[in-house]
Amino acid sequence: MLPDPLVTALRPLRWPGKRRFMECFSPHHGLRRAHIAGASFQLDLSEYIQRQLYQGTFELAETRLVHRYLRHGMTFVDGGANVGYFTALAARCVGSTGRVIAYEPSPQASLQLHQLIAANRWTFVEAVPSGLGARADELTLYWNPSSGNHTPTLVPHAASSQVKVEIRTLDAEAARLGLDRIDFLKLDVEGHEPHVLAGAQRLLAERRIGAILCEFNQPWLSAAGSSCAALDAQFRAAGLRLQPLSLGDNRFYTS
């Protein structure tokens, strides 16, 4: 097992096969404080995403994209923020003259997100403990606490844990927050993405969203009655252009 100081030293390094190596030899249990994306995180290594953050193997291509695109003073919205990695990354990029709004309906992840913001004293970052959808509502959030990967979904399915959560629309939130423009929207909501876009029709029609990084998860989209092709058609109907980038399950669109 790699000692923590060695994991810290290896975290910023990149090499082929790093994810497999780190997953085999780095710790899988316990809490760790780590400095990642310019922020101080408290991570639970028993959870897969948080362990990837600790190892320095989480969504590397997407990380580079955010670094290239975001500039000081921009506005970033994190739809499905989880424990806040992209929130932290965006906060570092846009700085105190920008704005970051992070939506996370999971009580567990939302608590960590709020703790992250407080620990880093970000006055320009706001965490909203709700989900995004097609209309203001209350829906059931589902997750399996024994999976080792906390990725709750609003798509109905058999799960051992459920909770009712608030849903807001992105159009209404932009009005509430006084957002004239969202420069970058990140969407990772496990099959609920078509509903989030449906709740952002005014923003999309008025070309007030500059770019969207969106997860395309075919199994969850199918469970929600949609598909990758249908989701792509929503983006194209809104006048967004798919950029030819290699991002795994994610796709990047610009207006």
The model carries a pTM of 0.96
Specify the CATH number for 59-254; select among 3.40.50.150, 1.10.260.40, 3.40.50.2000, 3.40.50.970: 3.40.50.150
Per-residue pLDDT at 1 exceeds 90: no
* Residue 160 pLDDT: 87
Strands (E), the chain: 31-36, 39-44, 75-79, 99-103, 125-128, 131-132, 137-143, 161-168, 184-187, 211-215, 241-242, 250-254
Q: Cα angle vertex 194, ends 189, 197, to 5°?
A: 95
Q: What does the pLDDT look like over 26-48, one tens digit per residue?
A: 999 999 999 999 999 999 999 99
What is the average pLDDT across 119-133? 98
For residues 143 and 156, the answer to whether their CB atoms sit within 8 Å is no
Q: Give the end-to-end CA distance of the chain in Å, rounded to a whole number.
A: 46
Per-residue pLDDT at 116 exceeds 90: yes
Other CB atoms within a 10 A radius of the CB of residue 232 amount to 16
What is the average pLDDT across 149-171? 95
Structural domain spans, the chain: 1-57, 59-254
For residues 105 and 141, the answer to whether their CB atoms sit within 8 Å is yes
* Residue 159 pLDDT: 85
How far is the CA of 68 from the CAs of 32, 65, 89, 207, 242, in angstroms?
29, 5, 11, 21, 17
* Residue 5 pLDDT: 95
Per-residue pLDDT at 189 exceeds 90: yes
